[in-house]
Structure 1
Amino acid sequence: MIRTFRNCRPVFVGYAIIFMLFASVISACSKKDVKPKSTPTGGGEIVDPPVVKKVFTIKDSRIIGPDGNEFIPIGINVNGPYWPWQHPTIPDVPLIADTWKFNSVRLNCWPEFSTINQNNTDMDGIIKAFTDKKVVVMIEEHNWTGKYPTSSELATLSAWYKDLAVKYKDNPYVWFNIMNEPGQSGGDVPAEWLSDHETVIKTIRDAGNDNIIVCDEHGYGQGNGYNGGTAKSGILTYGPTLTSKYKNIMFSVHAYELWVYGDQRMNDYINDVTAKKLALMVGEFGVGSDIASAVATTVYKNVVAKKIGRLGWQWDGVDIHKLTTTGGGGGYDIDNTSGAKPGNLSFVGNLLWLDTHGGVNINGPEVVPPAVLASNLDFEDGSPTNNASLNTSWINFGTAKLDNTAANVNHGAYSAKIPSGSAGGAGQVIYLQPGATYKITAWGKNSAAASSPSSLGIKTTSTQGGAETQIVSLDFTAAAGETKTATFTAPATLASVFMFIYKNDTGVDFWLDNISIVKQ
């Protein structure tokens, strides 16, 4: 027995040692805060390895998310600090992120209005609410629409972004969209596009923030609809200069009236931008029931296959751009919040919903725009008042007004009035299907027999910047009110369609009401 015990002791001790080592490993692995193995420096000091921060990065024309996968921003513009529209944003975050399933929002800010309103002032709260749900927030300063800042304004803009850059440098879901739609349309892009953007970019980077920075296209963000080529585009002219100096820079184009009938132009534009290894998104496209609906189909036909980000304008529904057809028209007015498809989506609201709920079929009926897209044809939209200037959805040529005198109105409460004293009128860009036949109807009257017709007409072009051709006209010369009708066919090739009201006789007043355009 004694011998047997002595012979077995080494074996017993060996098993005991193995058991203790195994228990030690189990104990270490059960601890929650296990750190990577430390390594000695050349001087013998023990240091921990650096923690790899999960961030968004831009590689050529693609955005790579914190998870290592390609990220395509899909979302909506929302009310931010000092934005003039009052609807609160924070309560809608679950609807935006979980019901509509948007992965990005563009936070419309207007700090210059801080003495005028106090809407949505809790930027920290808005950003936390969204980024806690892994939704990107693009902070944008909206004050520069159609212009560039002066040197003192640029200094103020840079200081504003410096504070934000310091505050949010550890939150990769906060992006910076430097200024909204800088510069006028039509002319070549000025050098300020580059210098102003670079000044702010450098400020953000010097603050230690490497988050993504977004630069809007020149010319109200539209790059002239890519009419006139590279010279009209800040992105194509100066984008490579910025990306050669700074990392994580991307670019944004806005799609409105200059992109109507623009399927091929947008295709060419996106191809030319991405060929320069520049990351691009559509930071705004309208969701209204006017020509914005046609432009939205152009956007979707091009961005889906090319994996280009897209953000609609706007969540609130205060202006003509509405995601829903009931209530106030905001995205929060959907009639079903369960996650099932709502029944009151607008034409573009439906596209945005499909985009995040299975995808948009770019060959499907959802991307065929309505046969006619024109707005405020009865002059009742907006908040009309007697003698107010005609501005809602119409371009006023100078003197056009609203009139609610019963004898001068054919339908509803208001008509359009072109007063005596000068020639004048109003007009709007509309959409018609190429090659389709239409019937146009309107009521009109003059205050006395007119020496030359007062008219409602439509002009078209077949090439961008080409000569206009008038394709139909309803002419009124009588003093008595009358309804007139004409049938016409739109050209098979269209680059633009413009509807106008015009009175040439300076000695008479002219009233027009109840316009109708119906596809035959």
Structure 2
Amino acid sequence: MKARLIIASLSAIAMTLLVSVFVAIQPAQAAVGLRITNGRLVEANGTPFVMRGTSHAHVWYQSQTSSFANIKSLGANTVRVVLSGGRWTPINGVSDVANIVSLCKANRLICVLENHDTTGFGEQQNEWTLDRAVDYWISVQSALTGQENYVLINIGNEPYGNNNVAGWTQATTNAIARLRNAGFDHTIVVDAPNWGQDWQFTMRDNAQAVFNSDVDRNTLFSIHMYGVFDTAAEINAYLDSFRTRNLPIIIGEFGFNHSDGNPDEDTIMAQAVARGVGYLGWSWSGNGGGVEYLDQVTSFNVNQLTSWGQRLFNGANGIRSTSVQATIYGNQSPPPTGSPSPSQSPSPRPSPSVSPTLSPTSGTKACTATYTRTNQWQGGFQADVKVTAGSAAISSWRVTWTWANGQAITQFWSANVTGSVVATNMPYNGSLGAGQSATWGFLGSWNNATNTNPTPSCTAS
């Protein structure tokens, strides 16, 4: 009996210790904000989030801040932003990173921030190690803390070329550990070696070990699909290898053509949709070095979609028809899904913007509204309305107009819309600093004869 009591006591002590250990490790598993659960990226409320978006080369085009709103206007829910800590100038410091995060949030985009300094390590000049990329992230940490619902950290773009790729695994594991030890709770995105395409399968074969090394189990793997992925068999096999192991993956870059071959973008997009895998096309605008054909719009003009841009945003399994806005931005209608694909309708016919009507008075609460028809087809059209605060900050806005030709709004997003037409801000986009802007949009119907752009009025408080 005494022996049994001793055993019982020891069992109770062991159970207490186990419970204590379980409670102690819970915070490491209960990641804040965006996180990986059961092999998928989910929001803090548990809703799956599937990325649909593009990359914007911010480091080289820092004046193109309107790109965030323009990318959103085409239905994207995510933007991947190119940053540099010093390999390229100008450097993206704390204030610039904070502004980027604000632009993403203002335009209801999830932000994937990537350090581009690591590109092609081992085959380039002045390329950075992943360890040095971590130094950069720590230097801008103050702009990222508390943004875990909105921001993912892509440690380093294509962090190894084709030399010494075996070093990728340890370098990636060490980088994740350093970020966690520094207090980063964000979802961490890691790119594959071989210029992101992993044709030697280093990331594929070591993904489980890398994922397990993350104390938060909050690492997302990113494969870049260009010429290596020119057949359906290769695309399916690679994605299958992650799904069968319940490991999270996104297609972090891809194109419709490339200098190393012709990627099968149709299968890439179709399989991403079928599997619930995120994808991010490369890239919005400003490409050089012989890959200018990868621009999705010409000269950063949202009204000049290239053939690649049309395919990515408006084609089958494209962004416009498959993107769902993150729930952290509210439950209003998602970006439009009803616009016809190029095979269903004529090519978009952009119309010139109508200038706003109200001129802000210095020091008073005022706003202007600019109407832009971005797409038109038989019986339907799409438009965006950009609201800009005047010389003083505002806390809310209201846009009104009257249709001239009997048009009607059939679907809207990023505003509350009633009647013909009264639009008011959502909770997240009413507060604008002096000169700041928010954009809302809609799908409409028209009579196929006349579609006169209205003249909007804007009032603020």
Q: TM over 0.5, yes or no?
A: yes
User: Aligned pair 1:241/2:209, yes or no?
Assistant: yes
Match of 2:276 among 307, 314, 317: 307
Q: Any gaps of 5 or more consecutive residues in structure 1? A: 1-51, 225-231, 336-343, 368-520
Q: Determine the structure 2 residue equivalent to 1:486.
A: none
How do 1:212-361 residues align onto structure 2 when only pairs under 5 Å count?
212-224=187-199, 232-246=200-214, 247-260=217-230, 262-287=231-256, 294-319=263-288, 320-324=292-296, 327-328=298-299, 330=300, 332-335=301-304, 344-354=305-315, 355-359=318-322
Aligned residues of 1:166 and 1:207 also touching (Cα < 8 A) = no
Q: 1:93 to 1:216 in 2, by over 3 A?
A: same
By how many angstroms is 1:158 displaced?
A: 2.2
Q: Determine the structure 2 residue equivalent to 1:60.
A: 38
Match of 1:175 among 121, 131, 152: 152
Q: 1:122 to 1:58 in 2, by over 3 A?
A: same
Q: What SS does the aligned partner of 1:223 have?
A: coil
Distance 1:158 1:175 in 2: 14
Aligned residues of 2:42 and 2:49 also touching (Cα < 8 A) = yes
Match of 2:139 among 163, 169, 174: 163
Q: 1:76 to 1:59 in 2, by over 3 A?
A: same
Aligned residues of 1:76 and 1:313 also touching (Cα < 8 A) = yes
Aligned residues of 1:181 and 1:217 also touching (Cα < 8 A) = yes
Q: 1:206 to 1:298 in 2, by over 3 A?
A: same
Q: What SS does the aligned partner of 1:321 have?
A: helix
Distance 1:109 1:152 in 2: 13
What's the C-alpha RMSD, in Å, of the aligned pairs? 3.4
Aligned residues of 1:74 and 1:102 also touching (Cα < 8 A) = yes
Match of 1:210 among 164, 185, 192: 185
Distance 1:93 1:248 in 2: 26
Question: How far does the alpha carbon of each residue in 1:208-228 deviate from its partner, in whole angstroms, 9 at most, with x for none?
Answer: 22110011112111011xxxx
Aligned residues of 1:296 and 1:348 also touching (Cα < 8 A) = no
Q: What SS does the aligned partner of 1:314 have?
A: coil
Aligned residues of 2:227 and 2:259 also touching (Cα < 8 A) = no
Q: Any gaps of 5 or more consecutive residues in structure 2? A: 1-29, 324-336, 344-461
User: Aligned pair 1:135/2:96, yes or no?
Assistant: no
Aligned residues of 1:88 and 1:119 also touching (Cα < 8 A) = no
Aligned residues of 1:158 and 1:199 also touching (Cα < 8 A) = no
Distance 1:64 1:241 in 2: 21
Match of 2:49 among 53, 56, 71: 71
Q: 1:258 to 1:365 in 2, by over 3 A?
A: farther
Q: Determine the structure 2 residue equivalent to 1:452.
A: none
By how many angstroms is 1:345 displaced?
A: 4.0
Aligned residues of 1:165 and 1:204 also touching (Cα < 8 A) = no
By how many angstroms is 1:69 displaced?
A: 1.3
By how many angstroms is 1:311 displaced?
A: 0.5
Aligned residues of 1:286 and 1:292 also touching (Cα < 8 A) = no
Q: 1:292 to 1:109 in 2, by over 3 A?
A: farther
How do 1:187-202 residues align onto structure 2 when only pairs under 5 Å count?
189-190=165-166, 192-202=167-177
Distance 2:127 2:287 in 1: 33
Q: 1:71 to 1:101 in 2, by over 3 A?
A: same
Aligned residues of 1:243 and 1:249 also touching (Cα < 8 A) = yes
How do 1:382-421 residues align onto structure 2 when only pairs under 5 Å count?
none
Distance 1:356 1:154 in 2: 31
TM-score (norm 1): 0.50
Aligned residues of 1:74 and 1:311 also touching (Cα < 8 A) = yes
By how many angstroms is 1:347 displaced?
A: 3.7
Moved more, 134-143 or 267-276: 134-143
By how many angstroms is 1:199 displaced?
A: 1.9
How many residue pairs end up in the alignment?
A: 288
Aligned residues of 2:34 and 2:186 also touching (Cα < 8 A) = yes
By how many angstroms is 1:288 displaced?
A: 5.2
Moved more, 284-293 or 350-359: 284-293
Distance 2:229 2:129 in 1: 31
Whichever residue aligns with residue 112 of structure 1, its letter is G
Match of 2:86 among 112, 115, 118: 112
Distance 1:303 1:243 in 2: 21
Aligned residues of 2:226 and 2:262 also touching (Cα < 8 A) = no
* Greater relative contact order structure (CA < 8 Å, 6+ sep): 2
Distance 1:289 1:155 in 2: 30
Distance 1:205 1:73 in 2: 24
Distance 1:174 1:324 in 2: 23
Question: How far does the alpha carbon of each residue in 1:409-432 deviate from its partner, in whole angstroms, 9 at most, with x for none?
Answer: xxxxxxxxxxxxxxxxxxxxxxxx
Aligned residues of 2:130 and 2:172 also touching (Cα < 8 A) = no
Whichever residue aligns with residue 141 of structure 1, its letter is N
By how many angstroms is 1:77 displaced?
A: 0.7
Distance 2:64 2:184 in 1: 26
Whichever residue aligns with residue 179 of structure 1, its letter is G
Distance 2:54 2:140 in 1: 21
By how many angstroms is 1:57 displaced?
A: 1.4
